[in-house]
């Protein structure tokens, strides 16, 4: 192809970075989604007024730039002498950030289930929980899925910011190589390709599920 | 027996039921007619506790519907309701729609629930549609599915809330035939309807609601043949 100083070892270094990106994303999206569902359901159940304090906190997490949240989070855990590793701090901050967006998605999904359909379920003697489990959850999932896939892909790329806490994820690994090898375009190209390779299956999974469900809606 | 005693119901400042008294005996078919906003649909949703009431009392076989300690989920097992909008569960097949409540609410085994569902769906003429999703069926078919879904709980009472109002005129007949069949089988039914011919045919008694009041009640012959109340006369003249 053309001359490069990039070695197999360097590629392995990038792969390690990608593994870190994946780990941070997987942990944060999992915890963030569980919390997001919890907060979303809570907000629907409590109504706008009673859930106002929760909504306010979540709005803060949605509006303050993630970089500032990470730096502040790290400072706070240091002041509180929690002794968290950068990985833990990163996951905690990213999870809350994800939960804030996810609760909004879930709230919209639940709101999209017609009240009359839920009323029909309750009139058959189903409890609130049965209505949630068998009617609302499947229908809200279909509505929420595209936005949730988007959120996951977004968090994966936003997770690059954890490099500010000293974690060597994909982007930081690329930066280190760029500094050493002075081949920014080539290395960033590879970095971009790796981001694409890990994002693509998630995007396709979303498309697959949408196609599988759509004929019934 | 369903006993409705002096029931009052308001939506904020608007009083939609102004003291309704009505007793429906086992095996009886009572239809409620009246103009829009007369409170007839609201009464049905109060009977199975979907809506709270402001005053009065509704009792079903001795159970006070709106008492604090009444288990509404349990009560609703014996009071089926079908709405104007058929409200199919769109993510489930027709068979699954009907099987869901018997399985989860009554706790029946899958085989037993399926047996009941197939029987009820066959009863309403949907034996060919078991594995179809609701959106692939006409409104009339979906409404008959909703009837089968309610019947699968083996209710003792059935409430029908304008079940043909959202249907194309061509599909009204098949749903009304299903209701007639149920009435002939001895099901206790309260039907809110705009179909006067149907009300005349199947009812033991017909009630006329006007502005939240039950203006008149009697046998079909009395009510349609010789209405006493001026509002009933005006209403019947307007729908003829």
What is the SS3 assignment for B197? helix
What are the chain A neighbours of B80 within 8 Å (beta carbons)? 123-124
pLDDT in tens, chain B (240 residues): 999 999 999 998 899 999 999 999 999 999 999 988 888 999 999 999 999 999 999 999 999 999 989 999 999 999 999 999 889 999 999 999 999 999 999 999 999 999 999 999 998 899 999 999 999 999 999 999 999 999 999 999 999 999 998 888 888 888 899 999 999 999 999 999 999 999 998 999 999 999 999 999 999 999 999 999 999 999 998 887
Q: Hey, are the CB atoms on A135 and B87 less than 8 Å from each other?
A: no
Q: Does residue A54 form part of some domain?
A: yes
Question: Two tokens at B45?
Answer: 């949703």
Closest residue of chain B to A121, computed from CA coordinates: B101
Alpha carbon distance B64, B35 (integer Å): 29
* B123-182: pLDDT as tens digits: 889 999 999 999 999 999 999 999 999 999 999 999 999 999 888 888 888 889 999 999
Name which of B91, B101, B135 is nearest A124 (Cβ-Cβ): B101
Residue carrying structure tokens 């997770």 = A159
Contacts of B1 (CB under 8 A, 6+ apart): B23, B24, B25, B26, B59, B60, B61
Interface of B with A in 31-70 (CB under 8 A): 48, 50
Residue A2: predicted pLDDT: 63
Which CATH number do you get for residue A73?
1.10.3720.10
Number of domains in chain A: 1
Range of the domain at B50: 1-78+158-240
Q: Can you list the alpha helix ranges (DSSP code H) found in chain A?
A: 8-50, 52-63, 66-79, 86-111, 115-123, 128-131, 137-158, 170-181, 184-213
Number of domains in chain B: 2
Give yes or no: residues B125 and B174 share one domain.
Answer: no
Alpha carbon distance B83, B12 (integer Å): 23
Contact criterion met (CB below 8 Å) for B167 and B144 = no
Q: Hey, are the CB atoms on A124 and B83 less than 8 Å from each other?
A: no
- What H or E segment, with its residue span, contains residue B217? strand B213-218
Interface test with B, best of A119, A120, A139 (most B CBs within 10 A): A120
Local structure of residue B51 (DSSP, 8 states): S
Residue after which a domain boundary falls, among B155, B187, B210: B155
What are the chain A neighbours of B146 within 8 Å (beta carbons)? 120
Pairing of β B2-11 and β B14-24: antiparallel
Higher pLDDT, A48 or A91: A91
Alpha carbon distance B97, B90 (integer Å): 9
Q: Hey, are the CB atoms on A127 and B73 less than 8 Å from each other?
A: yes
Which CATH number do you get for residue B196?
3.40.50.300
Range of the domain at A52: 19-169
Give yes or no: residues B120 and B219 share one domain.
Answer: no
Q: Does residue A174 form part of some domain?
A: no
The pTM for the full model equals 0.85
Give yes or no: residues B151 and B163 share one domain.
Answer: no
Alpha carbon distance B51, B46 (integer Å): 5
A137-158 helix and A8-50 helix, angle to the nearest 10 degrees: 130
| CB of B76 less than 8 A from some CB of A | yes
Give yes or no: residues B172 and B184 share one domain.
Answer: yes
User: What interface predicted TM-score (ipTM) does this complex get?
Assistant: 0.87
Give yes or no: residues B122 and B171 share one domain.
Answer: no
């Amino acid at each position: 192809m053309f001359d490069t100083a990039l070695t197999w070892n360097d590629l392995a270094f990038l792969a390690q970075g990608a593994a870190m990106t994946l780990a941070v994303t997987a942990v944060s999206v999992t915890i963030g989604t569980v919390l997001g569902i919890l907060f979303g359901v809570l907000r629907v159940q409590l109504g706008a007024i009673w859930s106002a304090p929760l909504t306010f906190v979540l709005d803060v997490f949605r509006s303050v730039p993630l970089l500032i949240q990470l730096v502040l989070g790290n400072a706070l855990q240091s002041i509180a002498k929690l002794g968290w590793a950068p990985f833990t701090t990163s996951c905690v901050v990213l999870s809350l950030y994800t939960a804030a967006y996810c609760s909004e998605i879930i709230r919209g999904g639940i709101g999209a289930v017609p009240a009359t359909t839920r009323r029909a379920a309750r009139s058959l003697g189903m409890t609130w929980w049965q209505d949630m489990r068998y009617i609302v959850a499947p229908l809200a999932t279909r509505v929420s899925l595209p936005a949730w896939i988007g959120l996951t892909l977004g968090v994966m790329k936003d997770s690059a910011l954890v490099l500010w806490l000293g974690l060597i994820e994909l982007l930081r690994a690329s930066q280190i190589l760029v500094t050493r090898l002075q081949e920014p375009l080539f290395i960033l190209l590879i970095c971009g390709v790796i981001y694409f390779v890990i994002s693509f299956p998630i995007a396709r999974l979303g498309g697959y599920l949408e196609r599988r469900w759509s004929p019934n809606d | 027996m369903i006993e409705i005693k002096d029931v009052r119901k308001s939506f904020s400042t608007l009083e939609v039921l102004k003291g309704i008294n009505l007793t429906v005996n086992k095996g009886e078919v009572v239809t409620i007619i009246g103009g829009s906003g007369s409170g007839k649909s609201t009464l049905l949703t109060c009977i199975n506790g979907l809506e709270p009431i402001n005053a009065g009392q509704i009792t079903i076989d001795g159970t006070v519907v709106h008492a604090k300690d009444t288990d509404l989920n349990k009560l609703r097992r014996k009071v089926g309701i079908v709405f104007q909008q058929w409200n199919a569960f769109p993510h489930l097949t027709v068979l699954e729609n009907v099987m869901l409540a018997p399985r989860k609410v009554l706790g029946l085994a899958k085989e037993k629930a399926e047996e009941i569902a197939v029987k009820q769906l066959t009863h309403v003429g949907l034996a060919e549609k078991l594995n179809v999703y609701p959106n692939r069926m006409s409104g009339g078919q979906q409404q008959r599915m909703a009837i089968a879904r309610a019947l699968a709980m083996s209710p003792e009472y059935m409430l029908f809330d304008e079940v043909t109002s959202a249907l194309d005129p061509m599909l009204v007949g098949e749903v009304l035939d299903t209701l007639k069949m149920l009435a002939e089988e001895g099901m206790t039914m309260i039907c809110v309807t705009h179909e006067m011919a149907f009300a005349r045919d199947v009812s033991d008694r017909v009630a006329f609601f006007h502005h939240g009041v039950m203006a008149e009640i009697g046998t079909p012959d009395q009510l349609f043949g010789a209405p006493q109340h001026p509002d009933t006369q005006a209403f019947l003249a307007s729908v003829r």
